[in-house]
Structures are given as structure tokens and as C-alpha cells.
Amino acid sequence: MTLALTLRLVSLRLIVTHLRAAHVQQSSRTYVDTLAQRGNPGLRAPKKLWWAKELTPDFHVAGRLSERQIKYAADGGFKSIVSLYHYDEPSKIGEEYLPTSEEAAAIAKQSGLQHRVVLESGNSDWASVQAVDKLSAIMPTLEKPVLLHCHRAYTISFVTMMHMANASKHNPNYKPQVDIQKFYKMAAAMGIDFTMDFTQKTAAEITGEEIPENLPTPNVVPKVWYDYWMAHPVYKNWYTAGQIRESHLEKLQMDGFIHVINMRMGVDDENGNPSQEQVTLINVKDGTPTYGNKETGPRQIPNTLKNLVVDSEKDNSYVAKDSNANFESRNPGEFGDEIGYNEDRERQVLEKAGFQYHHMPVLSGGKFSPELFGKYKDKLLEIGRTGEPVLVHCASAHRVAYMTVLAAALQYNKDLDWALQRTRELGFVVSPTEHKDVYLMYAAWLDSNKFNSTKDEL
């Protein structure tokens, strides 16, 4: 076939795919490319678990976990942890220690979690029917929800979704039914790529289906971004996150992140009033105001914290070897001070490490509006148009999801339907009836016709 003809065929196929996509979007506002409608990231403790990636409500995936992350998994409602690999050696993320499998099992036990390892020591053959088989054998023994992990939340996503595809094939009542199309769409929606020959081969073998043509591929820059696996890819160079830790900075740099935009409140707000948000603490529930109120004292004093304990049965040693309480009260690794989260500290540390740091505070739980986005729009686009990876973070990756999807939509000329779909894929529902303040903000910037008509109705 001549090159010209091949090119023409390719572009024809692209047009057909586009038409089909447009049709699907119009016929259903709720169309998403995920296995099921995802919930907000983070199960029952979004500030602690924003990095857990939801495949389905029962299965979330992650990279290699620190001791703190295992404890947070328990605090937030996970019942089991599964490690794909057997780690004989400890590792590190920045200065933070990452336990061996044996140590992780002991921490999980202390936290009240089941813990299992899929592959035996030395076996790293993840893209295999055998690995899926082993996970499938473990699954019935686990209490849900399960947090499954590998090094970077990549290989475990493959094995877990293949387990679901196999279960779907053998049991028509299995939910959600995962076929090869769904598998590839979900991977693309998560920003990960399994279109290599060896993964295609295993996927075809497990599902018994042929590999579809024109596999969906992720729209992410860089393509392999998951050295910092905790980030949530939004589109191209835009990523979101919850509160990053000082220990994460090295991995962020490995991924090529240059810009970090922080949307948490600063130490003081624009009127000069104290406005520190909260840090996360082991065995302490989120919530209660930083500075206290009529009912409660300042958050980080023992008298307040002891009423916020997740599990009062826990030993003091659960928090740290020399702890004199069974709850934590400071979190310097998260840029916390004696009051709460301290944005000045984050700025100092990130600037020293060489990041381009930008502070664009958005009130947590506040209303979104066209004006709020308007305040930051030009700066956001200026940063985005460098094409360099941008990490936009808050506490739980929630408020930033709304702002970042809109920034990406404007930079890349996407429409309102795209923004609504992408927001859903990230676990947040925006419509004329749900989070309508966000809907109006989107409509105002992406579709002024819809903005004017919806606004009049409301």
C-alpha cells in the first residue's frame, strides 16, 4: 500500500472514531471511560488516602507503601492490603523508610488489616496468566475494600483488572463486568499504558477476546509519569494531588515536575486572619477546626486530639516507639507546625529544592464561581502553556480537580461535555443539579450559551 493511501485510511478512521465519540457524548451526559463511576479519592479519609486509585469501590491500587500509609489505610477504612511483589529489602521515598514485606505484614497486623503477597520472593513476572491466577486464588480470602500495591501502582493495575476480567468471563453475575475494551479504556483514563505486545498477549489470553484496533492510549506528558505514582493525571501536562510530603520531592523531580501549584489556604487569608488548614495525624480523625471554637479547643492539643481518636484500643507504640499517647499530634513531614498545616514552610522547602512554586488559595468547602477561576486563569494558562508537567495540589485532591480540569479544558480547547466527563472519571460528579456552582463555573468559561440558560433557570 502506498504511504499516501495508508495515511488517508488512518485519517478516515480517526474521523469515524471522532464522530462515534461525539455521538456517545451527546447521547449520554454520564458517559465515562472507567469501570464504574468512581467515588471521591480517599475512601473514608480523603486527606490521608488521596493517593489510593479507585478501580472499583472494592479495589484500590497504590505504589509501595510507607508505614504511615499502611496505618492511614486502616484509619480510612481499608480491610486488607495486597502486595504484588515480595520485598526482601527495604527502600526509601526521599528520607521516608519503605518497609520490607515482612515488616509491612507486621504493621498491617498491628493496624488490624489483612496482608498478603502475591508473587514469591524473586518473582517479578507480573504480565503473566500465572500472576493473575495467584491473585485470583487470594481474593476470596480477603475482606474488602482492598488496597493492592506494587512499586508504582502500574503493574498491580494490570494484574487486578485482569483478575476482574477473568472473573467476568467465568461469572456473568460478576460486577462490574470487565472486558478488553473496558480494560483499555480504564487504563487510558488512569493515564497508564498497557498497549505493549507482551501485555496485549496476556490480556487476549485472559479475556479470550481479540485485541481491538485503535486501542485508547493515555493523554499524558510525560508518558511514564508514575515514578510519582501518587499524582492523578488529568490531561497532558496537568496533574492533581492531595498534600505532598517533603519526602516526595525527589520523585516529583524524577518525573520532570517543575511547577507546583498549591491551592490550600496560607497561614493568613487575604484579610490577615489566621487560616491554617489541618495536617493528617496517625489514629486521629480528620475534621474539627484548626483553631477550635465554642465546643472544642485548638485541634493539636492533647485534650482535643484524644476525642478524635480513630481506635482507642491502640497502644501508644502504634504511633511511634517512644510515643506517650496513642495518637499523633504533629506532622512536620507534611509541612505542619504546632498549629496545623503551614504553607510558608512548603514554599520555603519547594523553592529551595528548585521548584517553580505558585500559591493560589481556594477555600476548602467554599463555593466555586466563574470569578474565582477568573482570578487565576491567566496565570494557570501561562504555566500550562510551558508544556511542562504541572502538579496542582490541595489537601485531598478535591478542590484542585475542579480547577485543573477547567484549566486543561481551556488550554487544549475542550468543551463543557469533555470537562464534565473528565471530572467524573476523576471521581467527582458535576451537573446542573450536583455541585451546580462548579457546573456554572465550567459553563461560564466553556459554553456561555449553556451558562446563560442554566443561570436563568437556577
List interacting residues with ligand NAG (CB under 6 A).
129, 132-133, 136, 166, 170, 206, 448-449, 452
For ligand NAG, the closer of residues 205 and 250 by Cβ is: 205
For ligand NAG, the closer of residues 388 and 447 by Cβ is: 447
What are phi and psi for residue 116, nearest 5 degrees? -135, 150
For ligand NAG, the closer of residues 162 and 189 by Cβ is: 162
For ligand NAG, the closer of residues 136 and 364 by Cβ is: 136
The minimum distance between CB 412 and ligand NAG, in angstroms, equals: 22
The minimum distance between CB 368 and ligand NAG, in angstroms, equals: 19
Annotate 106-169 with DSSP letters as a single string.
Answer: HHHHHHT-EEEESSPTT----SSHHHHHHHHHHGGG--SSEEEE-SBSSHHHHHHHHHHHHHHH
For ligand NAG, the closer of residues 139 and 391 by Cβ is: 139
Query: What is the Cβ-side half-sphere exposure of residue 367, based on CA atoms within 13 angstroms?
Result: 6
Per residue, what are the HEC states of 336-377?
ECCCCECHHHHHHHHHHCCCEEEECCCCCCCCCCHHHHHHHH
Nearest to 58 by CA among 135, 178, 147: 147
For ligand NAG, the closer of residues 141 and 449 by Cβ is: 449
The minimum distance between CB 215 and ligand NAG, in angstroms, equals: 21
Give helix 197-207 / helix 155-170 axis angle, nearest 10°: 20
The minimum distance between CB 138 and ligand NAG, in angstroms, equals: 10
Helix (H) or strand (E) holding 233: strand 232-235
The minimum distance between CB 256 and ligand NAG, in angstroms, equals: 36
Query: Measured at CB, which residue is nearest to ligand NAG?
Result: 136
The minimum distance between CB 457 and ligand NAG, in angstroms, equals: 14
- In a 10 Å sphere around its CB, with 0-12 CB exposed, 13-18 middle and 19+ buried, how is residue 11 labelled? exposed
